[in-house]
């Protein structure tokens, strides 16, 4: 049995945060149905990029489409909305990631769907949420981490902020926060018998992730400046260093006993009592810079890793894929595809002792299950053909 087996999710989202959320739910066993607009029904529709000339291959390698089914509906058509309402009657969750107001115009908003199914958990995932002065403002991850306060803390002094991929807002503050909130709402439903509306703003999620640093600011009035604080580049013992092979190694020796081991192994035990004396940090940094240039990255990892020092090699992604710890933890999984053979996907992070999550299938192409899903609703072949002919389904 899978942790979320038996729960049905209708996913209306398109861009990365929503599909990441439903990937997490589907990995946990939820039956996720992608309700996708036919390409002709959406202006500026982004399509799956062809890979080796095959959209099917691109879909197969897409982790956001794995463990899911896909139905194409043009919700501007009344007959398509009726299909969605039928699906909603038997669903547990609706997830959408459109700009505020779009689902209401389409007639698939929370008020409408909860009137059909009061037990529905309806999650709207957007940049700035469903209210407030920025409700109509467009944006992406870089904008949400700016408003949330994270981007201004990342980088080096007197240089422009460093853009940390789209991890903080899209995936952590957005998709993962939404998945957590959905499961929480499902647990609440067990007590109340009612579903509810969940409003996820990625900018909110970013600020939520900064809770520890917010607490420090509220207590002391001091905020994190780029590259000037313990955890963002100022401390020599929580930093990265170039090695003899032009690669990089990371140190995280914050605790005194770890720092003492680092000092001993790099030949400067006299640094040990002065770990948090910032006046000595430039000298420490210079020493570590010179020391780490004397051996290769992997040599240093072997030496320090065996001596109780917080250390790790800085990998590029292919190296991370081949790392023995990541392999042992099954963070790379392999699936067989009938046409493309062995396909690798990133594995599932949470590990359960009993109800174990599983990557069960590769990514599905848009509309692959339209006939199947409509058939499950009792639609005849002729009726399905009529929906396709009218452009309501594809």
Reference 89, options 64, 119, 59, 111; nearest CA is 119
pLDDT class of 39 with cuts at 50, 70, 90: confident
User: What pairs with residue 199 in β-bridges?
Assistant: 124
Distance CA 338, CA 233 (A): 48
Active site residue 170: yes
Q: What is the pLDDT of residue 55?
A: 87
CA distance 280 to 385: 76
- Residues 16-32 as b/e (b if ≥16 CB within 10 A, e otherwise) read bbbbbbbbbbbbbbbbb
Examine residue 327 and state whether it is found in any structural domain, yes or no: no
**Whether 182 and 246 share a structural domain:** no
Residue 51: what pLDDT?
A: 46
85 is written with which tokens?
């309402």
In 138-169, which positions are buried (b, 16+ CB within 10 angstroms) versus exposed (e)? ebebbbbbbbbbbbebbbeeeeebeeeebebb
Same structural domain, 159 and 13: yes
Cα separation of 156 and 145, whole Å?
17
Is 234 among the domain residues?
no
Say which CATH number the domain at 180 has: 3.40.50.10540
- Please name which of 297, 277, 269 lies closest in space to residue 235, comparing C-alpha atoms: 277
Which H or E run contains 342?
strand 341-346
Q: What does the alpha-carbon distance between residue 100 and residue 136 come to, in Å, rounded to a whole number?
A: 7
Q: Does residue 195 lie within any of the structural domains?
A: yes
The verdict on 199 and 263 lying in the same domain is: no
167 plus 303 within the same structural domain: no
Active site residue 287: no
For 37, the token pair is: 């607009």
Backbone region of residue 44 per phi and psi (left: phi > 0; alpha: psi in -120 to 50; beta: other values): left
Q: What is the CATH number of the domain that holds 257?
A: 3.30.1540.10
Q: Are residues 67 and 149 in the same domain?
A: yes
pLDDT at 40: 80
Does residue 354 lie within any of the structural domains? no
- Kind plus residue range of the DSSP H or E element containing 21: helix 17-27
- pLDDT per position as a tens digit, 253-267: 999 999 999 999 999
CA–CA separation, 347 vs 228, rounded Å?
Answer: 35
Q: What is the CA radius of gyration of the chain?
A: 25
Say how far apart CA 291 and CA 296 lie, in whole Å: 11
Last residue of a domain, one of 269, 293, 322: 322
How far is Cα 284 from Cα 306, in angstroms, rounded to an integer?
22
Q: Is the domain of 255 the same as that of 311?
A: yes
What's the rounded Cα separation, in Å, for the pair 98 and 100? 6
Mean pLDDT score of the chain, rounded to an integer? 96
pLDDT tens by residue, 264-280: 999 999 999 999 999 99
State the pLDDT at residue 46.
52
pLDDT tens digits, 2-18: 999 999 999 999 999 99
Q: Per residue in 40-85, pLDDT tens?
A: 877 655 544 554 547 899 999 999 999 999 999 999 999 999 999 9
User: What are phi and psi for residue 374, nearest 5 degrees?
Assistant: -65, -35
Residues 162 and 283 in one domain: no
* Identified catalytic residue from 170, 204, 237, 345: 170
- The predicted model gives 199-214 an average pLDDT of 98
Kind and range of the H or E run holding 291: helix 281-292
Q: CB of 247 within 8 A of CB of 313?
A: yes
d(CA 349, CA 50) in angstroms, rounded, equals 29
> Which candidate in 140, 285, 287, 337 is catalytic?
140
Tokens (6 digits) for 117: 């199914």
Number of domains in the chain: 2
Domain that holds residue 98: 8-209+364-390
């Amino acid at each position: 049995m899978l942790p979320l087996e038996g729960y049905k999710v209708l996913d209306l989202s398109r861009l990365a945060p929503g599909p990441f959320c439903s990937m997490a739910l589907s990995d946990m066993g939820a039956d996720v149905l992608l309700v996708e607009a036919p390409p002709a029904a959406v202006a500026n529709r982004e399509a799956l990029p062809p890979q080796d000339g095959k959209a099917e291959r691109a879909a197969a390698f897409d982790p956001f489409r794995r463990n899911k089914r896909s139905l194409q509906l043009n919700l501007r058509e009344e007959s398509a909305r009726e299909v969605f309402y039928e699906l909603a009657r038997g669903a547990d969750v609706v997830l959408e990631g459109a700009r505020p107001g779009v689902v209401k115009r389409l007639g698939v908003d929370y008020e409408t769907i909860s009137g059909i199914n009061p037990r529905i958990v309806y999650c709207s995932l957007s940049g700035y949420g469903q209210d407030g002065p920025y409700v109509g403002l467009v944006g992406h991850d870089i904008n949400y981490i700016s408003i949330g306060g994270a981007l201004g803390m990342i980088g080096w002094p007197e240089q422009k902020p460093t853009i940390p991929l789209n991890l903080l807002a899209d995936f952590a503050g957005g998709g993962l926060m939404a998945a957590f909130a959905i499961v929480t709402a499902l647990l609440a439903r067990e007590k109340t018998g009612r579903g509810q509306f969940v409003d996820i703003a990625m900018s909110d999620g970013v600020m939520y992730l900064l809770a520890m640093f917010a607490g420090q600011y509220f207590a002391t009035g001091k905020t994190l400046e780029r590259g000037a604080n313990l955890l963002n580049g100022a401390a020599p013992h929580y930093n990265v260093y170039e090695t003899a092979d032009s690669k990089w190694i990371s140190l995280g020796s914050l605790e005194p006993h770890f720092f003492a081991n680092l000092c001993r192994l790099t030949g400067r035990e006299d640094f040990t009592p002065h770990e948090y004396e910032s006046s000595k940090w430039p000298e420490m940094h210079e020493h570590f810079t010179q020391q780490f240039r004397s051996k290769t990255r992997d040599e240093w990892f072997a030496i320090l890793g065996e001596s109780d020092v917080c250390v790790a090699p800085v990998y590029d992604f292919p190296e991370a894929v081949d790392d023995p710890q990541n392999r042992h933890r099954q963070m790379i999984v392999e699936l067989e595809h009938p046409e493309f053979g062995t396909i690798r996907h990133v594995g599932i992070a949470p590990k359960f002792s009993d109800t174990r999550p599983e990557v069960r299938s590769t990514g599905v192409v848009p509309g692959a299950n339209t006939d199947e899903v409509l058939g499950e609703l009792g639609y005849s072949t002729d009726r399905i053909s009529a929906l396709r002919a009218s452009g309501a389904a594809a």
